């Protein structure tokens, strides 16, 4: 069974490996876009390596997906998500990357990961509703 710590370590390693690849591409092709992507990936790596930087429920969802997911599909989805960072995706936290990965794997995620995604969606909906109310707009019913 994958632990939270192992899930965070694996995610940090994926950020690191992808940053290294982006740096090589940047040097080979004199590409500032690849250099900037590498810098973003390195910031995400540092966040993933920091204790308590990723919510426990996100790490649990990721760990359960590592345990219950189909390895090839998980590998392909992870590769796609990592390659997009700095080009089509600009996440501000490792949690956002976990969210993107779990969404990419839907509907083939663990029950725990599905519950996590639902809770994130409900939390976002509640925040949006509070903003609407603060602006004096009617609540969505």
Contact assessment for residue 132 and residue 139, using Cβ atoms and an 8 Å cutoff: yes
The first and second tokens of residue 93, run together, are 């936290």
Task: Encode pLDDT of 80-131 as tens digits.
Answer: 999 999 999 999 999 999 999 988 888 777 777 888 888 888 877 777 787 7
pLDDT of residue 139: 61
Flag whether the pTM goes above 0.85: no
Which of 23 and 71 is assigned the larger pLDDT? 23
Radius of gyration of the chain (CA): 17
Three-state secondary structure readout of 102-125 = HHHHCCCCCHHHHHHHHHHHHHHH
The first and second tokens of residue 64, run together, are 């359960």
Return the ∠ at Cα 38 (arms to 36 and 44), rounded to 5°: 105
Beta bridge partners of 89: 85
The mean per-residue pLDDT over the stretch 70-89 comes to 91
Domain regions of the chain by residue span: 4-134
């Amino acid at each position: 069974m994958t632990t939270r710590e192992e899930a965070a370590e694996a995610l940090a390693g994926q950020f690191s490996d992808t940053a290294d690849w982006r740096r090589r591409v940047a040097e080979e092709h004199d590409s500032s876009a690849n250099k900037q992507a590498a810098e973003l990936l390195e910031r995400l790596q540092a966040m993933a390596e920091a204790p308590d930087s990723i919510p426990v429920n996100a790490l649990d969802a990721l760990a359960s997906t590592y345990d219950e997911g189909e390895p090839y599909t998980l590998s392909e989805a992870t590769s796609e998500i990592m390659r997009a960072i700095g080009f089509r995706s600009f996440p501000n936290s490792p949690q956002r990357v976990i969210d993107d990965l779990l969404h990419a794997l839907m509907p083939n995620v663990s029950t725990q990961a599905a519950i996590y995604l639902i809770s994130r969606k409900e939390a976002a909906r509640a925040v949006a509703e509070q903003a609407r109310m603060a602006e004096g707009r009617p609540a969505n019913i």
